[in-house]
Chain A
Amino acid sequence: MELRVLFKYIDNPDQHKIATYISTGGYKAWEKVLRELKPADVIDIVKRSGLRGRGGAGFPAGVKWSFVPKDSPKPKYLVCNGDESEPGTCKDRVLLERDPHRVVEGMAIAAFAIGAHNAYIYIRGEFAYPAAQMRKAVQEAYDKDFLGKNLFGAGYDLEMAVHTGGGAYICGEETALLESLEGKRGLSRIRPPFPAVEGLYASPTVVNNVETLANVPGIITNGPEWYAKMGTEKSTGTRIFCLSGHVKRPGNYELELGTPLSYLINDLGGGVLGDKKIKAIIPGGSSTPVLTPDKLDVHLDFESVAQAGSMLGSGGVVVMHEDTCMVWAARKLAHFYMHESCGKCTPCRMGTQWMFQILDRIESGKGCENDIELLLDVCDKIEGHTICPLGDAAAMPVRAFTKTFRDEFEYHIKHKKCMTINRMPSFT
């Protein structure tokens, strides 16, 4: 079901202003944390809520926080990942634009939990407006003494700054993001050491997604049991799904985790454009394996989508109807990964180029007989052989498209044309 927790006030035109945010209970959680709780209590509450990372991997947030060594003499850093770039995903942008104080408050609480006195939010460079909204929010929070020195008289200091990127998908990967925040090229780092031990400026660092942190104030205010009651046992809470592609009402919808995919597409999304049949659905951003319409009843929680053969990923649901050529779609995505590979690992740098070249020649009617096997072989060579998940993220969709719609790929190679001629709703 649609359940608005993060989006409760999202349609309020003044929600981005601090007075409005405060009037809806904003910064109460931050005050409670500073006046009544210890860092360990906050971590325990978030652990008990079951909150899992909303960036893609779904790692439990409280557990991530607990990895930060308490005895380290180095400063600690909290970094909010607002480098939203996974094709199909545009949920963090809405939070940053319309309810930025929720993100500020979540960041502040997370910083306190890990003992950080400095917090940064890294926002993708193209998001000029969301970044401006966040900057205003941070300034307002300073003006109200919610950020700065000796907050609420509790002796705790916290500085927060907004940092913008330069257009690189890879910087959504946490170690590449940290390199980028240090002013370097966004090349991912070898782990270990993990950021919790050696992250920003070689100091203990936690990186959390915008949506993950936006959930934290609510969890503190209403308690972990309130949060854990929503969703399923292992996928608690709500999630913002970005519904795009061939649907009548695309948009960002916040659903209780475990809601059927069909409800999102048909009830909220109004069904398929032109009442055509669905051919393919990407359930969690472009990296996640494509599903066929027989999986329309899958429940949107981490476990169910995994069982259906894909991933909940970043919440980007892309619907493609029957008049979509799957080779064309796969080629689009392969182009993206080729463009975004940072070039550090050979399998990813070369593999993404190979995948695109093969798909490009199949799409343009120049495919060779063994191209499908070659494509799958390249996927094998990339997967598991790169430092960061971008390699896997590039190979997974190509493998899934090729295997799931093998007949279309074979037809394309044999007949040098599309089995399904692309009939996109034209731009008119």
Chain B
Amino acid sequence: MILNEQTVKAIRADIPKYPQRRSCILPALTHAYRQVGHLNEVVYREIADVLDLDTIQIAEAASFYTMFPKQPVGKYFIQVCHNLSCSLLGAESLVEYLLRKLDVKKGAITPDGLFTVVTVECLGSCTTAPMMQINDLFYENLTREKVDAIIDELRKKG
């Protein structure tokens, strides 16, 4: 099993909220993503078992939603908004800076396994641009100094 007991418990806890089991798929994918960091066929099968649904129903939904990476990413998954409001305040140079700083290509994992940087569409943080999301947290009004501090801290945490 990839999914641990806590994740399975969380998936089961959502069942009574809906009249149809299938509604639990997105919440289940979210629980699994939080634990594993990405989704794959094995995870779909395990979710299907917990929810007593067909694996294809899980895979079909998962393939539509872009928030869940379908292959491994770094421990800290950095998603930089490159939509208009953020780009008007320098998001393009933020992306370049991050890639240069971490010496990594977009979408790849740094050799220490810590970081992956991708660009994403609007994250609903337009008035605090430029911004990035690392795992579940938003980092807003970014400056070079702030980015340096954030990356340093995450490196220290390992």
Binding site for B on A (CB under 8 A): 75, 84-90, 92-93, 118, 124-129, 159, 161, 163-169, 180-186, 201, 242-246, 250-252, 282, 286, 316, 318, 320, 324, 329, 332-333, 336, 339-340, 342, 424-428
**A183 CB, min distance to chain B CBs, angstroms:** 4
Of B27, B60, B143, which contacts A185 at CB under 8 A? B60
Q: Which of B14-70 touch A at CB < 8 Å?
A: 17-27, 29-30, 57, 60-68
Interchain CB contact under 8 A, A318 and B26: no
Complex CA distance for A181 and B24, rounded to whole angstroms: 9
**Which residues of A have CB within 8 Å of B60?**
184-185
Number of interface residues of B (CB under 8 A): 54
Using CB atoms, name the residue of chain B closest to A241: B127
Complex CA distance for A43 and B42, rounded to whole angstroms: 49
Of B26, B57, B63, B126, which contacts A316 at CB under 8 A? B126
Using CB atoms, name the residue of chain B closest to A86: B122
**Which residues of A have CB within 8 Å of B87?**
332, 424
Interchain CB contact under 8 A, A166 and B85: no
7 tightest CB-CB pairs across the interface, nearest first?
A166-B65, A167-B67, A427-B90, A183-B22, A183-B25, A244-B126, A128-B136
B94-113 vs A, Cβ < 8 Å mask (1 yes, 0 no): 10010000000000000000
Complex CA distance for A332 and B88, rounded to whole angstroms: 11
Interchain CB contact under 8 A, B124 and A245: no
Interchain CB contact under 8 A, A186 and B64: yes
Of A85, A243, A282, which contacts B122 at CB under 8 A? A85
Interchain CB contact under 8 A, A425 and B90: yes
Interchain CB contact under 8 A, B85 and A126: no
Interchain CB contact under 8 A, A93 and B124: yes
**Which residues of A have CB within 8 Å of B128?**
90, 250
**Which residues of B have CB within 8 Å of A332?**
82-84, 87
Interchain CB contact under 8 A, A252 and B88: no
Inter-chain pairs besides A90-B126, A185-B60, A186-B65, 4 sampled, C-beta below 8 Å: A86-B122, A167-B68, A339-B121, A428-B143
Using CB atoms, name the residue of chain A closest to B96: A427
Interchain CB contact under 8 A, A129 and B88: no
Residue of B63, B88, B97, B127 with most partner-chain A CB within 10 A: B127
Is B89 an interface position by the 8 A CB rule?
yes
Q: Would A245 and B136 be within 8 Å (CB), given that A124-B124, A165-B65, A251-B127 are in contact?
A: no
Interchain CB contact under 8 A, B123 and A126: yes
What would 5 A/B residue contacts be, using CB atoms closer than 8 Å? A126-B124, A164-B30, A182-B22, A184-B61, A336-B83
